[in-house]
Chain A
Amino acid sequence: MELGTRKLFNRSFSLVSIAAIVLMALSLVVLLGPIFVKGSSAFVFRGTVEYRMLMLNRFGRGNQAVVEAEKASAEAARKPVLDLIRGFEGEMEQRGPEFRAKYESDFRELKGLVLELFGPSPGEPTPVLLRQQYGQTRWDRSKLKLEGILFVEEYDYSDPTRMGVKVLKPRVERFRGTSMEPLFGDLERGIEEMMRPRLTWYWRFPFDDSYDSHFFGGIWPEMLGTIYLAIGSMLFAVPLGIVTAIYLAEYSGEGHFVSLLRTCISALAGVPSIVFGLFGLAFFINTMKVSQSKSVLAGALTLAILVLPTVIRASEEAIKAVPLTYKEASMSLGASKWRTILTVILPAALPGVLTSIIISMGRAAGETAPIIFTAAVSVGKPLAIWQTLTQPTPALPWNIYNLATEHQAVDEIRHVQYGMVLTLVVLVLLLNLTAIIIRARISKKLRA
C-alpha cells in the first residue's frame, strides 16, 4: 500500500474508534436526557387549584383560607359552563324523545369529560374513588383534557390502501344549533381562571405517601422499601464479603481450594439475576420459610447473595492495595496476624472497602429481577422496621415496571413514572459518585 493510503487508513481508524466512544457518550445522553427532563416534571410543574385542595385535604399543607377562597373563585369561573350543562339536561327533558335520542350519548360523553377536568362540583355526591374526588391537579394534564373536550379524535379510513389517519374534529359540530354551543368557547377562553395554574415546586415527591395507586402524592413507600432492601442486603453481604476478601488476600496461598473459591465467585457473579429470584423463592421462602410469603428479609437475603461477588472482589482489591510495609511494621512489633489485620490492614483499607460497599448498595437498590418473587408488591404502605421481617414492600425498581406496564391508567401517570425513574437514577448515580470521589481521594493519597 502507498504511504498516503496507510496514513489515511490510520487516521480513519482513529476517527472510527473515537466515534465509538462518542456514540457511547451519546447513548448515555439519549438515555438520561428524557429521564431528567420529564422526570423533573414530577418535581416542578404547574399545579392547579385542585392540586392545592388535595394538598390541603390530604397532607394539611397550605393556608386553608387562601386555598378555599381560590377554590371558590375557580368554582365561580366554572359556574357558567356547569350551568350550561345543567340547562341542557333540562332542555333534553322538555324537547321530547327525538331530541334526546339525537344528543344523549354525545352529551353523556361530554359531561363525563368535564367531570374529569373539574372534579365533582359542590353539592354533588362525593365519588368513592379518590381520583374522582378531584379534578386535574396538573396544568399539562388539564390542557390535554381540555383538548379532549374541544376535539373528537376520529380515524379516516377513506383511503383503503393506507392505515387510518387520525383526524381531530371540533366537538362543537355535534352540538351545533343547541344551547350547548357557547360552552366550548367559554371553556377555551376561561380555562385559566377555572383551573388557576401556578408554578409548583414539589420537592416532597420522594417523601410523600402515595394515594389511590399513585394518582396523587409521592413515592415514599417505594423509597423506603428500596432503602430497606439495599441496607438489609448489605447487612448480610458485607460481613461475609469482607471475611472472604481477608481470607483471599491474607491467608490463602495458591492452593486448589483457593482456585475453586475464585472460580465459584466468578461463576456466582455470572448467574443471571432472574435465577437468583427463583433461588430466593425456592430456598429462602419455600424451604427455609424465613417468612410466610414474600418479605423484605427474603429479598434482602437474595440480594445479598447477588452482590456478594462484587463486595468480595472490590474489598480484596482494597486490602491488597494496602502497602506491604504496614503489615511488616505491625508484625515486627510483635502483633499477631489476626491483630495486624484487624488494627492495621483493615483500617488502612477502609476507604476502599467502603467504596465497594457503596457500589454494591447501588447495585442492590436497582435490581428488579431478584425481588419480583421474594420481596416486591405493587401497592403497599410504608413499613415499620420490625415489619420488614414478615412483610413484602413496594420498591422503586419493581414499581417502575409495574406502573409502566400494568397500571390501569398508564398514560395518566407518566409524570409519576418518570419521577420514580429519575429518583432511582439519581439515587444510584449519587452512590456511585460518592464511590468515585472516595476512590479519587485514595489514589491521591497513595500517590502523595
Chain B
Amino acid sequence: MQDQLVISKGARRFKRLGALFGSTLLVALASSSVIALLFIFYFIMRDALPFFRLEGVREFLTSTHWYPSRDPAEFGALSIFVGSALVTLGASIVAVPLGILAALCLSDILPFAVRQVAKPIIEMLAAIPSVVYGFFALVVLAPLIQARGGTLLAAGAWMVLAPLFLVSTTVASDIVSSRFPQRLRTPVRIATLAVLGGLGIGALLALTGVLNRLVVSSGTNALNVSVVLGIMALPTIVSVSEDALNSVGRELREGSYALGATRAETLLKVVVPAARSGILAAVILGVMRAIGETMVVWMASGNAARIPSPWFNLLQPVRTLTATIAGDMGEADQVTGSARYHVLFAMALCLLAFAFIMNLVSEYVVRRSRKMRG
C-alpha cells in the first residue's frame, strides 16, 4: 500500500529538499522586517555618529544656540528638544482624557447601533493624511487663533471646566452635608452649593477675562499644533484602549453591578484599573504618534528655535526635531558629509531611539498584563 504512494526514494528526497529550501526561503522573506529595522538603525547611526565625533554631545544637548548656517556653526538643539516635548505634552493633554473617555463610551456606554456609526468616525480620523491636518492647521486654524485666540481659549475653558466644576461641586456638597445630622443636611447642602458655586463661577469669569485680553502674536504656535496633534493621536488612543477595556471580562463588570455600584463607579473603580496596562500602552502609542509627526509641526508650529518663556506658554512658536529634519535637509543636502548634514541624522537617531524604547515599554506592559491575567 505504502509503496504505491511513494514513487521513488529519489523523489522523496527531492521533495524533502524542496520543502527545506521552501521553508528557508519563507523564513528569509519573513525576516525582512527584522532586516529592515536593523538597516534603519545601522544607516541612521552611520550618518549620525560623525556628528558626535565632529561636534561632541555636550553642546548638542545643553545649548540653545541653534545656528547651523553661521560660521562657526552652533548646534545647540536643547530648544528643539524642548519644542518637541512641549508640543507632545500639549497633544497628550488634549488627547489622553478625551481618548480614554471616548474609549469608555464606546466600550460600555453607547448602544451597539450607535457604536457602529461611531467607529467609522475614528477610522476616518486615522485615515486622513497628516499633510491635510497640517494644511488645516496652517490655513484654517492659524488665522482663527491669531484673530480670536483669547475667545477660543475662553470658550474651551468653559467647555472643559464648567461641567467638571458642576459635578465636583455637587459631590463636594454631598460629602460635606453627610457629616451633619439629618435635619441640618438640606440647609448645609444648599449653603455649600451656593458658596462653592459662587467661588467657581467667579474663578471662571476671572479666567475668561484674562483669556479674553490675551493678544496672540502669531497663529502658528505650539497651541495650534498641540490641538491638531491631539486630534491626530486620538484614534490610536481610542482604539487601543477600547481593545483593552473590552478584554476586561464581563464577570468583573457583573460582579461590580451586583454589589450595587453604578455604571460610572464600575467603570472608574473596576474596569479602568483592570485595563490600566492596556490604557497605558494606548497612551504611549498615541504620544509616539504625536512626537513622530512631521507635517503638522513643520507647517504650523512657527519653527522658531527658542524655548518659550515661561516654558509652558503654548502661544509662542516652537521648533521640533521632526520639523528641523524636514526643513533643514534641503539646505544640508548639497554638502553631504558636513556637520550640518550629520546633525539631522543625530536628531533622527534620538527620535528613533526614543520611539524604539517606548515601543518596547508598551509591549512589555501589555505582555505583563496578559501574563497576570493568565
Contact = CB atoms under 8 A, between A and B. Distances in A.
A366 B133 CA distance: 11
Q: Interface majority SS on A: helix, strand, loop or mixed? A: helix
Contact of A5 (B135, B171, B356): B171
Given A279-B43, A404-B138, A261 B34 contact: yes
A9 B163 contact: no
Contacts of B89: none
B325 A274 contact: yes
A366 B130 contact: yes
Given A18-B110, A31-B136, A282-B47, A8 B294 contact: no
A265 B356 CA distance: 11
Interface string A269-281: 0111111111101
B36 A268 contact: yes
B33 A401 contact: no
Contacts of A70: none
A221 to B, nearest CB: 17
A126 B47 CA distance: 51
Interface in B118-151: 118, 120-125, 127-136, 138-140
Interface in A7-35: 7-10, 12-21, 23-25, 27-28, 31-32, 34-35
A128 B143 CA distance: 35
A278 B140 contact: no
Interface residues of B, number: 92
A39 to B, nearest CB: 10
B374 to A, nearest CB: 16
Nearest to B25: A243
Given A2-B174, A244-B29, A270 B167 contact: no
Contacts of A271: 37, 40, 292, 352, 355-356
Contacts of B23: 251
Contact of A270 (B43, B124, B358): B358
B322 A369 contact: yes
B199 to A, nearest CB: 19
Interface in B70-111: 97-99, 101-102, 104-106, 109-110
Given A9-B262, A274-B351, A369-B295, A31 B131 contact: no
A289 to B, nearest CB: 13
B229 interface: no
A432 B124 CA distance: 8
Contact of A267 (B19, B101, B124, B359): B359
Contacts of A397: 129, 131, 295
A172 B293 CA distance: 51
In the complex, which of the residues A9, A247, A425 has the most CB atoms of chain B within 10 Å of its own CB atom?
A9
B139 A404 contact: yes
A283 B294 contact: no
A21 B118 contact: yes
Given A6-B262, A397-B129, A400-B135, A18 B109 contact: yes
B326 interface: yes
In the complex, which of the residues A16, A260, A424 has the most CB atoms of chain B within 10 Å of its own CB atom?
A16
B26 interface: yes
Given A25-B121, A263-B363, 16 more contacts: A1-B175, A5-B174, A9-B262, A267-B355, A270-B285, A270-B288, A270-B358, A273-B293, A274-B292, A274-B325, A308-B32, A369-B326, A397-B295, A398-B131, A401-B295, A429-B128
Interface of A: 1-2, 5-10, 12-21, 23-25, 27-28, 31-32, 34-35, 239-240, 243-244, 246-248, 251, 257, 260-261, 263-268, 270-279, 281-283, 286-287, 305, 308-309, 312, 338, 359, 362-363, 365-369, 372-373, 397-398, 400-401, 404-405, 414, 417, 421, 424-425, 428-429, 432, 436
5 contacts: A5-B171, A13-B267, A247-B26, A305-B36, A417-B139
